[in-house]
Amino acid sequence: MNKSKWGLGLLLMSCFLSSDIVLADHFNGHVDVTVKALSTNAQKGQLAFNRTCGACHGENGEGTLKGPPLIHGIYNAGHHSNKSFYSAVRNGVQQHHWPYGDMPAQQGVGFSEMSAIVQFVREVQQQNGIVQKKHRM
């Protein structure tokens, strides 16, 4: 490869890495999650999450090699709204950020349980510094 191609590659890479684009292109499957005091509903959501979602998304949403961590910046409310969480549970979701494959619909999770799970995820995201950011394509 000649010097100009290397230079162009480095320039593009530095522009890309310095941008606000959030990538989830690794297959680490785990993030460190801190869980502090939770509201009563989020505590119920934590129990439901760990029971129904934890096998793939890890205890408290920290991720596993079967499913991505939900306590991750890519899932901030500006990019993945609460509605997208409900839709994923009801309808499943095609793989799009991570190399884990498609998520199947979760028929055994009811609306009130899902509401508590979403509240749990959002409270723990906030506790771990994940805030809503405007989504940019």
Q: What is the pLDDT of residues 15-30, one digit of tens each?
A: 334 334 344 444 567 8
CB 130 within 8 A of CB 85: no
120 falls within a domain: yes
Angle in degrees, 0-180, between the axes of helices 111-127 and 40-52, rounded to the nearest 10 = 100
136 falls within a domain: no
Three-class DSSP category at 93: strand
- pLDDT of amino acid 30: 83
Amino acid at 23: L
90 falls within a domain: yes
Which tokens sit at 93? 């979701």
91 falls within a domain: yes
31 falls within a domain: yes
Q: Which residue has the higher pLDDT, 22 or 122?
A: 122
106 falls within a domain: yes
Domain total for the chain? 1
Note down the domain range covering 89: 24-127
111 falls within a domain: yes
19 falls within a domain: no
**pLDDT class for 5, splitting at 50, 70, 90?**
very low
- pLDDT of amino acid 112: 96
Amino acid at 71: I
Q: Report the CATH number at residue 37.
A: 1.10.760.10
Q: Which residue has the higher pLDDT, 15 or 86?
A: 86
